[in-house]
Amino acid sequence: MAQNQPTWLKLVHRAERAVGDHVEAFVTSDVYFDLLTQGTRASRRVLQAAESVSREWLHLWNLPASSDVRRLHEQLSRVERTLADVAKEVNDRAENGARPKPEKPQ
Amino acid sequence: MTPVLNPASVISRINRDVERSLLRARNGVRYATTKANVGATPRDVVWRRDRAELWRYRSATPIRYRPPVVIVHSLVSRSYILDLRPGSSAVEFLLGQGHDVYMLDWGVADERDADNTLATYVDEYLPRAVAAVERESEVDEVTLAGYCLGGTFASLYAAGPGTSVRNLILMASPVDYSAMGAMVAAVREGRLQPDELVDESGNVPADALYSGFFMLAPTKQVAQYATLLENLWNDEFVEGYQAMSQWSRDHVPFPGAAMREVVDELVRRNALMTGRVRVGTRTVDLGDVRSNVLNAFAEKDNVVPPEAAEPATSIIGRPERRAELRLRGGHVTFATGRVAFNHTLPALSDWIVAHSTELDPPKER
């Protein structure tokens, strides 16, 4: 199939490999992963700093910031997970023919 | 000697080029405005738990072999790679060979799945899904075919006590994580920390996974686009390209707790290579797998290199029940392309048939 390729396509493939081999060597190097990690940490720090400024400003006006919504979302997910676990346990017991034991009053 | 220009051949060439230009324009618009028809084989959901679903595929071909084939998909990609499009689908191929085919799809993980561990998949979902297959198909054994990380889950499950896995197939399933390439090495050496990969949902976002796979060959896309441009007149090529490129961009979030466990246990401890892996509160010994085991991997796989998959042949299962299938092609040689349909899938089907029971007469679905 490669033999039937037009010349321009062969040239593109050859150029891509010429550049690609070097790029691939770089993106699999220790330097790249160190840069990636440093970059990720730096951008996270910048984002956190920006968030803390905007949060303070929004709280001044008694408005929720995105971090408040996120925290709420996380709490909701935890509740949902707990509920799902309970529901699964009840279902499993029902499937196995056992009835869930009623909780003793405290 | 200079070639003589034949007017008839010049005219036919111009005609062909004009025709192809029109087809390129039409297919270009179609490519930009429509989505590929992926995962189209008719199916029924026969079991579900949380986001996980078990699908049983329908077909006009009667079932000729038992036990049914249950495909256990990977956790970080979409399962439609194995049912890519009509006429080019691994699922369709296996149905056509007379197998009863199921797919265990883990769904798209969200915040509710962030605490899922390896035990969630191996000890909670898999036993229930296999029980559902046995109920649905009225059998007491299954063939488990795990793709990529799904192969690891299937192996860990098959090594457990009282399982009913007659055959275990590993498709591009990593075992030696020290041979998994630079990104995994960066995680192993601590240059990339698992917690840095997790977002506020508690999972590794799909975008991060896509970037990881994209960076394996970042310039390849240029060559692929050029090839697409040249073949844009060809409907068949464009449909295949569109489906494949859609899948390669379409990842799913990796549950955070499972990812941390994969990093600690499989990547840093390289536990699969020792044959003993901690799952929840127990230790699984891969030598306890009593099934027939086929380890299938591809020579040009740059996601799970052959060096990472090959050791399974000497670790999982009993030595007298192990087999190996070394394939041409890359990570998707199980799913798409000429090699898949001419070599890979026929070889897989032949192995399954050789380790299955033929139904006489075949059973209508």
Could you give all domains of chain B from N- to C-terminal order, each with its CATH number? 43-179+270-363 (3.40.50.1820)
Evaluate whether B55 touches B80 at the Cβ level (below 8 Å): no
Please enumerate residues of A whose Cβ is less than 8 A from a Cβ of B. Answer: 5-6, 9, 12-13, 16-17, 19-20, 23-24, 27-30, 32-34, 36-37, 40-41, 44, 70, 73-74, 77, 80-81, 84, 88
**Predicted local distance difference test score (pLDDT) of residue B181:** 87
Q: How far is A34 from chain B (nearest CA, A)?
A: 7
Neighbours of B258 (CB within 10 A): 26
Contact list in A for residue B111 (CB cut-off 8 A) is 73-74, 77, 80
Contact list in B for residue A33 (CB cut-off 8 A) is 182-183, 186, 191-192
Q: How far is B324 from chain A (nearest CA, A)?
A: 29
**pLDDT exceeds cutoff 50 at A13:** yes
Q: Does B200 touch chain A (CB under 8 A)?
A: yes
Interchain proximity A33–B182, CB inside 8 Å: yes
**pLDDT exceeds cutoff 70 at B323:** yes
**What are the tokens at B137?**
């198909």
B115-159, pLDDT tens digit by residue?
999 999 999 999 999 999 999 999 999 999 999 999 999 999 999
Q: Number of helices (H) and strands (E), helices first, in chain B?
A: 16, 14
B264-307, pLDDT tens digit by residue?
999 999 999 999 999 999 999 999 999 999 999 999 998 999 99
By residue count, chain A amounts to 106
**pLDDT exceeds cutoff 70 at A93:** yes
The interface predicted TM-score of the complex, written ipTM, equals 0.75
Interchain proximity A77–B201, CB inside 8 Å: yes
Q: Is B190 left (phi over 0), alpha (psi -120 to 50) or beta?
A: left
**Predicted local distance difference test score (pLDDT) of residue A74:** 85
**Predicted local distance difference test score (pLDDT) of residue A34:** 86
What average pLDDT score do residues B303-315 get?
Answer: 96
B188-197, pLDDT tens digit by residue?
998 888 988 8
Residue A106's pLDDT band (boundaries 50, 70, 90)?
A: very low
Residue B213's pLDDT band (boundaries 50, 70, 90)?
A: confident
Give the burial class of A60: count Cβ atoms within 10 A of its Cβ; 0-12 exposed, 13-18 middle, 19 or more buried: exposed
- What does the CA dihedral B156, B160, B165, B169 come to, rounded to 10 degrees? 20
**pLDDT exceeds cutoff 90 at B2:** no
CA distance B326 to B344: 9
Q: How far is B74 from chain A (nearest CA, A)?
A: 23
B219-236, pLDDT tens digit by residue?
999 999 999 999 999 999
**Predicted local distance difference test score (pLDDT) of residue A3:** 64
With a pLDDT cut of 90, the percent of chain B lying above it is: 83
With a pLDDT cut of 70, the percent of chain A lying above it is: 89
B57-97, pLDDT tens digit by residue?
999 999 999 999 999 999 999 999 999 999 999 999 999 99
Interchain proximity B192–A36, CB inside 8 Å: yes
**Predicted local distance difference test score (pLDDT) of residue B191:** 85
pLDDT, averaged across chain A = 86
What average pLDDT score do residues B11-15 get?
Answer: 90
Q: How far is A101 from chain B (nearest CA, A)?
A: 22
With a pLDDT cut of 70, the percent of chain B lying above it is: 99
Interchain proximity A84–B50, CB inside 8 Å: yes
**pLDDT exceeds cutoff 90 at A91:** no
Give the burial class of A65: count Cβ atoms within 10 A of its Cβ; 0-12 exposed, 13-18 middle, 19 or more buried: middle
**Predicted local distance difference test score (pLDDT) of residue B288:** 96
CA distance B98 to A102: 49
